[in-house]
Chains A and B, each alone.
Chain A
Amino acid sequence: MTTEVSTGSAPLLVVEGLHAGYGHVPVLRGVDLHVSAGEIVTLVGANGAGKSTLLKTIVGLVHATRGRVVYDGQDATRTLPERAVRAGLALVPEGRMLFGPLTVEENLRLGAFARRGAPDPEDFERVFVLFPVLRERLGQTASTLSGGEQQMLAIGRALMSRPRLLLLDEPSLGLAPKVIAEIFGTLDRLRTDGLTVLLVEQDVKIALRHADRGYVMRTGAIAHSGSAKDLLADDHVRHIYLGAWDDTSASSNPPQARTGSVTP
């Protein structure tokens, strides 16, 4: 159902007709999308649309009941999460899922767990260049970090596995605007380094501003897709699916998604 303009290179990730759910409750009802190498693609939509479930199904934390996940040309539908990370797929999960009682250093070391031997000092350095505050917090337990620092640690931990595709679930959740800007600034830098990103966000405006393309998800399937620029400009999409962030329309029609309240 998605009609995409070919981006030229072969997609790194292809999701075809994916169905998944919890127990007998279906959440995904035939999701189609693709992410090409070097792209930042964002997935937006209301709470409960199935965005997080889609990311979890891609890495194998949730089992697909139908459809396919193809990663780097290989079928990865039944791949276990502990295998997915070895293939270069890293998920920064909803709620961050840090190892709270363990130190920042241990969390980062665990990020490199899938790689052979001891973690490379270079990998630590790369994370510290992106998030200098983590260097100062190395010996602290993760649970003592502020929300923003925890998000940085969650991303840093994922980067320690040297991923090719980073799946990022709601990095802005619960953070102050300044911290959100910092984290999205990091995303831009990572993209320059050649990382491919699939980003789930409820903050539609900021997500589309940093992405190349976007998908709008509704009740378990992709409802709209297009370039980030077009989606931002599309009145229909903006109004119905993204929630209008103009004060005038927001008051008359409560949006399904949280509006971009943190951006000016």
Chain B
Amino acid sequence: MGVPELLQFVVSGLKNGAIYALIALGFSLVYSATGVINFAQGEFYMLGGMVAVWAMRSLGLPLLAAVPAAVVVTVAVGALVERLALRPRRFEPPLVLIIITIGVSMVLQSLARHLFGPDELALPAFTPGPSVVVLGAAIERQTLWVWGLTAVALIVLWLIYTRTKLGLAMRATAVSHDASRLVGVDTARVVMVVFALAAALGALAGVAVAPLTQTAYDVGARIGLKGFAAAILGGLGGPVAAVVGGLVLGLVESLSVAFISSTYKDAIALVLLLAVLFLKPSGLFGRSSREKV
């Protein structure tokens, strides 16, 4: 295999990796704020793509309006999921809440099937045109959008976390709800904002990749699993770990296609997930347990 071919696999791996990173980040944000694995995270991805297609077809919105509209709608759904499904049970053990998110995931998927139909749908490319060729590897323009939007999302998220009072409240909430409430942080609202952010990341991933892969009401489960594997790979240890976990998973998948067989592509995430859980449950960056005072 020559350099261009190998590079082509790397491009593909980093494209999927960026998507996994956004989903993993959604898992990681919610987990650190609540101790809950939100199994509805994949549905946010599904909603991003589906709502955008629906807004174009049924409402006649231009792509430029349909994309942000899809993100906004999904953010609202994310906030509502927290408010209606999780908050009433927020003092229950995490396992109860995790089961609730599985239920939410089923509900969202059924609703999507009812509203948008059972068919695969496609979103047009954001900027149509020929691929960009770099060192013999072709990079689709939409892939550049995926990378660009991922980068913007990461920067915005980083600014929120490090530069704003809300971000400080989020980091405090991740350490201890009780301590945060004692200093005046409304942790219930922080958790709602975190769900909204996680939904935004999922929707962004879904809408950015929809022109490349098509979308349907049931795409959430698969991507949710990938994102979950990426988050576990990063040890659920924070935003950077989640992003690295996503990129690593994307690359490993893609290179396994190059060197083994495309048959096993989807199994790779599961194998990696199990390997991490068996061998190094604290993730690639393995602090053995979270430090608390």
Residues of A that sit less than 8 Å from B by CB: 59, 61, 80-82, 85-86, 90-91, 93, 96-102, 106, 109-111, 113-114, 142-143, 150, 157, 161
Contacts and interface: CB of A to CB of B under 8 A. Distances in A.
Contacts of A110: 168-169, 172, 180, 183, 185
A198 B291 CA distance: 30
6 contacts: A61-B178, A91-B182, A93-B179, A110-B169, A113-B172, A113-B185
Nearest to A160: B183
Consensus secondary structure, chain B interface: helix
A99 B182 contact: no
Contact of B179 (A80, A98, A150): A98
Contact of A82 (B168, B175, B184, B291): B184
A101 B169 CA distance: 13
A100 B185 contact: no
B186 interface: yes
Contacts of B180: 110
A111 B291 contact: no
Given A113-B165, A113-B169, A100 B175 contact: yes
Contacts of B178: 61, 81, 93, 97
A23 to B, nearest CB: 11
Nearest to B178: A61
A96 B183 contact: no
A109 B168 contact: yes
Nearest to A59: B182
B184 A86 contact: yes
B114 interface: no
A61 B184 contact: no
A97 B181 contact: no
A106 B182 CA distance: 15
B110 interface: no
A156 to B, nearest CB: 12
Contacts of B187: 82
B183 A102 contact: no
Contacts of A85: 182-184
Given A101-B175, A110-B172, A143 B293 contact: yes
Contacts of A59: 182
B192 to A, nearest CB: 14
B176 interface: yes
